[in-house]
Structure 1
Amino acid sequence: MSNEVSRQISLFSTQMQNRIFGDGTIAILESLLASKDVKSSLEIRSALKEFMRHESLSIIREITEKSVENKLLIADFLIRAFVLIGDVESCLALRYEALLLRDEKASSDTRLEVSYHEWLTLAEQLFDNGFYSAATKTCERALLCIQMDNGICTEDDDCFNCEHAFENIKRLKDAAIILAASQTGTNRVQVQASEYMKKKINQQLKQQESICTETYSSGSTLFRNGIKRRNLRKLQEHQCL
């Protein structure tokens, strides 16, 4: 790792620890990730992903008392950072939480209202990346939104478009439910297979222990059985005489 890269990593880390959320910090991150060395780039992204996940949890705990506007600004910064790093899961999770926060506060500030377009866009991205359970919940939010007054027949929509969107969201939700169930089914099969293999291994171990015990005592057993058979033959011979 070059001295310049080390310097940029240190600078970005300092910016994050000092809670400086802005375009300047994003620019440092962009410069840091512009490496032409593929191996080095992958290593840096992996390290930054771990670092940012840890820092983002601390940041979220720290901003619980801040205003909604500040929370959304910080969430937007973290989302941009995770996009650059390539951490899709963290990015989508933060986007979902940001929409929930807006939806919760929209009753007191209409500027924060979430449109069904936003819920639907997020649901499609969750679906495309394999997060089917989360996509199902997001579709439910979109359907609820489109049924409410603030989601129907706005200046950009008419009733036909809303009905069409409603059907599309339902289809996406149904597909997500099916795929989520298949994921659960696959996991269940894997668990059952694992349990079966454990039972087989235990049975084999018991059989081996039994074989060892039998082998240990087989000499004396065979000797006694031989004496019994010999005595039985002699008894039969005497009876015949």
Structure 2
Amino acid sequence: MRGLDTAYMLDLIPVIASYVPLTLFMAIVAMIAGLALAIVMAVIRVIRVPWLHRVVAVFISFFRGTPLLVQLFLFYFGLPQLVPALNNLDGVTAAIIGLTLHFSAYMAESIRGAIIGVDRSQWEAAQSIGMTQKQVLTRIILPQASRTAAPTLMNYFIDMIKGTSLAFTLGVTEMMGAAQKEASSTFLYPEAFLVVAVFYWIIVEVLSVGQRQLETRLGKAVSR
């Protein structure tokens, strides 16, 4: 039984750190795009837009009911065979699309639940003074729903960051991909994967602190 090669682990830290920006980039872009899509889908389901709400329901069911890895493989390896225009799709773009669609399905349901949780009397009161449905949603309902959904959405962002680790299966060299390459060349697998695990752990812990602060602020705002 051998011990861990701590010198190698220390040398590996700057290597893995150099790929942190790419990991965060994929997660942030996917979060922004996914959140925008989720809001649209949640509103469509709440106001039950004819036939569209059924399409959205199927979309959400599919992306919640299939593994993220399968979806990434479908976008990167499967769709280009059906749509030749996608042959030049790179791994980073495929990963972002996969993360966006996968997590937008979960976020849409959280936002829909938050919207439904707003007292129905507020809809009726706003409409009674002549506000349109769009105005009621954008000025009254969504701002309140965002407070309720924010902690859950933060959890999804954390899951999204961890989900970027699957991008290495598409040939993307991010933190996990870098660790895999280093480990395969040195055969020091425990050291490489332990270092990358600590990196993910630190990132998640920093975000968790921000999440707790956000929940505290939202709690104070609601109690006023």
TM-score in terms of structure 1 length: 0.26
* Bigger relative CO (Cα 8 Å, ≥ 6 apart): 2
TM-score in terms of structure 2 length: 0.27
Tell me which structure has the larger Cα radius of gyration. 1
